[in-house]
């Protein structure tokens, strides 16, 4: 189905390009001209396109050259499509408008093209190494049907736009100025309607942030976590993802049970929800610093700062692995900067970057007052959009920014192509601000393990980016330029038979990116945008955490899967009695009676817009 959606969008875009290219032909060659004349014009246009398409591909070429070559390919394809249209028109004129010959020819040609594209893409996917977490039932009829539906929807929208435009022009009357005014009014109304629909959709999605799940309706009582009685942020204000984050904090008992040795202390988890201070990112950063002070986070050996995704989601597996390996001697802090899925929260990357920078700077100033031996190691983590926002903090400084903000080490999963570290060459160590060997990009743990101890010690930033992660590969340059991962050798999970096609490959990768987070709870994979199977080993080695034996590492990975399965059951539970107890609520195999008073509402009250005179949050 995803192939069909991409193909349908490509057909819409290609039809628009064809119409644009056809404007000068129609202006030069009248419609009543003979078929030979029309075909000659198409041949000239196709020849010009072929000449541009023949521009040689060179490493490091500018976008202008890539755009010219790809534009030539599109013009050449448009010329061929126009020739088919001219032939069909001539056939209709000869045999009459009621003859089924023309629609049969056009339909057969279009169907053949769609079938060819769908079959080639399906074959390439089946040849790829590995498998998707959920079986992909890719069938040609489904792809064709979806493509036709999307294409027809685009046609209906186009017809509606044209009809309303013509009505405005007729209503205003004759004259070129009124004609222009009618077009402007129509475009403005359609643009306004589109923006209104977009905002309504985003608003509906953001409401999920206030949902109170039955399995996560009980506030924590441990003072070491946010949302407890002493916290600067109430349990309601944490949001959906924040409530999950603080409730699922590990306990010393679980750490001891997993590692077979006593835990050092209770892990600390702090979270500041967007609703706590929905207007000012500075306020959220200050509250996070206040929460870190309250919980004693600066007295721990490790301080893990996490930038979440658009909804505020944090990779629990990473945090749990760090809590287990440090024996609880770690504090984790996260600040929410958006309430919508990441693909809609891209516009808030600057906001997430700004508040993460404020958090880092505030921590740096607090740690300067401590003796070096009493300072915790500052660790950075981000996944997907979280990797983008946290890495952009040092987008102009590179590794020198680590020392500026007091960052010891960073670990980023699935760093998007649009992130500055990807685009500026820092991940390829082609930037002057990245000394050789200080940044490493890996597809799997075996590559990191193959380095010498000295090489791993020198590395300050570790980026885990699967060879077939569409989010890490997707970028707008794919519209006009063949990406380097197509046709490359030794790329895990990427079929050798995949070919690049202008526009089509862009949409196909965009659809793959939108569906990249489809996973099965507890079924950890090392494929696409799923990094759970790699997590434990990368967390240990990238952050240089205390050593674990092979047996302990195996038990940690088993515990991570079990914790995720239980978390999934709590999320799906419709009643608190049906939800497995959270780690902090366990007591002799049952639910602890001292877990707090569950929230009875199904929805939180939303953003807190008022403050008392004492500066405290409303209760």
User: What average pLDDT score do residues 502-513 get?
Assistant: 81
Percent of the chain with pLDDT over 70: 82
Q: Is residue 344's pLDDT more than 60?
A: yes
Label the pairing between strands 586-587 and 590-591: antiparallel
pLDDT tens for each residue of 543-558? 999 999 999 999 999 9
Q: How far apart are CA 214 and CA 55, in angstroms?
A: 61
Q: d(Cα 379, Cα 323) in Å, to the nearest integer?
A: 13
Q: Give the number of other Cβ atoms within 10 Å of residue 453's Cβ.
A: 7
Nearest to 394 by CA among 403, 384, 383, 381: 403
Partnered with residue 442 across adjacent β-strands are 464
Q: What are phi and psi of 464, to 5 degrees?
A: -100, 110
Instruction: Give the C-alpha separation, 247 to 243, whole Å.
Output: 6
Percent helix, strand and coil across the chain, each to the nearest 5: 55, 5, 35
Cα–Cα distance for residue pair 72/340, rounded to 1 Å = 39
Give the H or E element holding residue 181: helix 176-206
pLDDT at 532: 94
Q: Who has greater pLDDT, 289 or 42? A: 289
- What confidence category does residue 617 fall into, taking pLDDT thresholds of 50, 70 and 90? very low
In the three-class reduction of DSSP (H, G, I as helix; E, B as strand; rest coil), residue 335 is classed as strand
Residue 18 · residue 84 · CB < 8 Å: no
- Quick one: average pLDDT of 287-316? 96
- Residue 272 sits at φ, ψ, to 5 deg, of -115, 115
Q: 227-234: list long-range contacts, CB under 8 Å, 24+ apart.
A: 227/271, 230/294, 231/291, 231/294, 232/287, 232/290, 232/291, 232/294, 232/617, 233/271, 233/272, 233/273, 233/276, 233/287, 233/291, 233/617, 234/276, 234/617, 234/618, 234/619
CA distance 369 to 38: 80
- The whole-number pLDDT of residue 330 equals 98
Confidence at residue 316, expressed as pLDDT on a 0 to 100 scale: 96
The predicted pLDDT at position 616 comes to 46
Residue 459 binned pLDDT confidence (cut-offs 50, 70, 90): very high
C-alpha distances in Å from residue 24, one per residue of 17, 19, 21, 28, 75: 13, 10, 7, 6, 12
Task: In whole angstroms, give the CA distance from residue 463 to residue 461.
Answer: 7
Residue 596: the pLDDT is 66
Place of tokens 């990191």: 448
Q: How far from the centroid of its chain's Cα atoms is residue 453's Cα?
A: 33
Instruction: Give the least confident one: 236-250, 422-436, 559-573.
Output: 422-436
Average pLDDT over residues 292-307: 97
**Nearest partner of 50 among 23, 21, 80, 14, judged by Cα:** 80
**Sequence-ordered strand ranges (E) for 424-488:** 439-442, 461-464
Per-residue 3-state assignment (H helix, E strand, C coil) for 4-47: HHHHHHHHHHHHHHHHHHHHHHHHHCCCCCCHHHHHHHHHHHHH
Q: How far is CA 197 from its chain centroid?
A: 22
Average pLDDT over residues 290-300: 96
Give residue 126's pLDDT: 54
Instruction: Report CA torsion sign: 60, 65, 71, 77.
Output: negative
Is the model more confident about 373 or about 57? 373
532 or 468, greater pLDDT: 532
Q: What is the pLDDT of residue 430?
A: 75
CA atoms of 607 and 136, how far apart (whole Å): 40
Quickly state the pLDDT bin for 2 (edges 50, 70, 90): low
Highest-confidence range of 114-118, 321-325, 399-403, by mean pLDDT? Answer: 321-325
Per residue in 179-197, pLDDT tens?
Answer: 889 999 999 999 999 989 8
pLDDT in tens, 9-68: 555 555 554 454 444 444 444 555 577 787 888 888 888 888 888 888 776 667 777 788
CA 323 to chain centre: 26
CA 533 vs CA 228, 309, 338, 470: distances in Å: 32, 20, 27, 18
Instruction: Specify whether the CB–CB gap between 585 and 248 falls below 8 A.
Output: no
* The predicted structure's pLDDT at residue 587: 60
According to the per-residue pLDDT averaged within each range, which of 310-324, 518-532, 588-602 is highest?
Answer: 310-324
What span, in angstroms and rounded, lies between the C-alpha atoms of 355 and 290?
14
* pLDDT tier at 81, thresholds 50, 70, 90: confident
Instruction: Give the per-residue pLDDT at 85.
Output: 76
- The pLDDT of residue 309 is 93
Average pLDDT rounded to a whole number, residues 556-564: 96
Yes or no: say if 212 and 237 are a contact pair by the CB < 8 Å rule. Answer: no
């905002």: which residue's tokens? 199
The pair of structure tokens assigned to 163 is: 């009809």
Highest average pLDDT, of 90-99, 405-414, 463-472, 473-482, comes from 405-414
**Between helices 101-127 and 2-28, what is the axis angle to 10°?**
140
Give per-residue pLDDT as tens, 108-161: 776 676 666 666 665 655 554 444 545 555 566 776 777 778 778 888 888 899
Please give the span between the terminal C-alpha atoms of the chain, in angstroms, as a whole number: 48
Please tell me the distance from the alpha carbon of residue 495 to that of residue 124, in angstroms, as a whole number.
Answer: 6
Q: What is the mean pLDDT of the chain?
A: 83
- Sequence-distant (6+) residues with CB within 8 A of 249 are 220, 222, 224, 225, 267, 269, 323, 583, 584
> Please, which pLDDT band fits residue 293 given cuts at 50, 70 and 90?
very high
pLDDT of amino acid 562:
96
Q: In the prediction, which pLDDT does 531 show?
A: 94
Average pLDDT estimate for 249-269: 95
Instruction: Write the DSSP assignment of 110-123 as a string of letters.
Output: HHHHHHHHHHHHHH
Which range among 34-43, 99-108, 220-229, 357-366 shows the weakest confidence by mean pLDDT? 99-108
pLDDT at 588 over 60: no
pLDDT of res. 590 = 42
Confidence of residue 453 (pLDDT cuts 50, 70, 90): very high
Rounded CA separation 279/611 (Å): 13
Count of other CB atoms within 10 angstroms of residue 145? 14
pLDDT at 517: 73
- Give the residue among 459, 421, 414 at the shortest CA–CA distance from 438: 459
Three-state SS at 610: coil
Q: DSSP assignment of 231-251, as one string?
A: -SS-TGGGHHHHHHHHHT---
Give the CA count within 13 Å in the CB-facing half-sphere of 389.
35
DSSP-assigned beta bridge partners for residue 330: 302
């Amino acid at each position: 189905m995803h192939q069909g959606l991409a193909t349908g969008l490509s057909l819409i875009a290609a039809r628009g390009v064809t119409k644009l290219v056809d404007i000068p032909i129609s202006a030069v060659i009248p419609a009543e001209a003979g078929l030979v004349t029309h075909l000659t014009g198409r041949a000239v246009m196709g020849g010009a396109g072929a000449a541009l398409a023949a521009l040689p591909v060179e490493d490091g070429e500018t976008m202008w050259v890539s755009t010219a070559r790809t534009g030539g390919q599109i013009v050449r394809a448009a010329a061929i499509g126009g020739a088919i249209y001219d032939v069909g028109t001539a056939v209709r004129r000869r045999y009459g408008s009621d003859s089924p010959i023309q629609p049969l020819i056009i339909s057969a040609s279009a169907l053949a093209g769609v079938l060819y594209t769908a079959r080639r893409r399906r074959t390439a996917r089946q040849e790829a190494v590995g498998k998707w977490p959920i079986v992909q039932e890719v069938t040609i009829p489904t792809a064709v049907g979806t493509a036709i539906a999307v294409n027809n929807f685009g046609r209906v929208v186009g017809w509606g736009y044209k009809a309303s435009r013509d009505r405005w022009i007729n209503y205003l009357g004759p004259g070129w100025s009124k004609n222009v005014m009618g077009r402007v009014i129509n475009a403005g109304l359609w643009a306004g309607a589109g923006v209104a629909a977009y905002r309504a959709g985003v608003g509906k999605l953001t409401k999920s942030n206030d949902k109170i799940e039955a399995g996560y309706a009980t506030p924590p009582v441990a003072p070491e976590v946010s949302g407890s009685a002493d916290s600067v942020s109430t349990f309601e204000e944490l949001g959906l993802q924040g409530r999950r984050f603080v409730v699922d904090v590990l306990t010393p008992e679980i750490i001891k049970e997993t590692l077979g040795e006593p835990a050092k202390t209770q892990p600390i988890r702090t979270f500041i929800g967007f609703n706590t201070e929905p207007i000012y990112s500075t306020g959220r950063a200050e509250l996070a610093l206040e929460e870190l002070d309250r919980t004693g986070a600066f007295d721990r050996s490790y301080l893990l700062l996490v930038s979440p995704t658009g909804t505020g989601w944090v990779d629990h597996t990473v945090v749990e692995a760090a809590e287990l390996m440090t024996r609880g001697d770690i504090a984790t802090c996260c600040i929410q900067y958006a309430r919508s899925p990441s693909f809609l929260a891209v516009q808030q990357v600057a906001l997430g970057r700004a508040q993460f920078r404020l958090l880092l700077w505030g921590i740096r100033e607090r740690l300067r007052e401590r003796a070096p031996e009493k300072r915790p190691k500052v660790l950075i983590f981000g996944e997907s959009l979280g990797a983008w926002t946290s890495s952009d903090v040092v987008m102009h400084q590179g590794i020198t920014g680590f020392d500026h903000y007091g960052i010891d080490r960073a670990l980023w999963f699935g760093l998007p192509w649009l992130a500055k570290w990807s685009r500026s060459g820092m991940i390829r160590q082609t930037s002057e601000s990245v000394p050789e060997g200080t940044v490493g990009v890996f597809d799997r743990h075996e590559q990191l393990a193959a380095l010498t101890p000295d090489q791993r010690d020198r590395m300050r930033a570790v980026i885990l980016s699967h060879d077939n992660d569409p989010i890490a590969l997707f970028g707008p340059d794919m519209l006009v330029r063949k990406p380097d991962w197509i046709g490359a050798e030794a790329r895990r999970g990427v079929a050798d038979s995949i070919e690049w096609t202008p526009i089509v490959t862009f949409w196909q990768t965009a659809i793959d990116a939108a569906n990249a987070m489809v996973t099965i709870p507890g079924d950890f994979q090392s494929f696409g945008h799923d990094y759970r199977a790699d997590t434990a080993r990368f967390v240990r080695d990238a952050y240089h955490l205390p050593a674990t034996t092979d047996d302990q590492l195996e038990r940690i990975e088993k515990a991570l899967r079990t914790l995720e399965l239980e978390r999934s059951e709590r999320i799906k539970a419709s009643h608190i009695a049906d939800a497995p107890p959270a780690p902090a609520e366990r007591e002799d195999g049952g639910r602890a009676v001292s877990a707090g008073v569950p929230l009875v509402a199904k929805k939180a009250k939303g953003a807190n817009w008022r403050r008392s005179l004492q500066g405290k949050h409303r209760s």
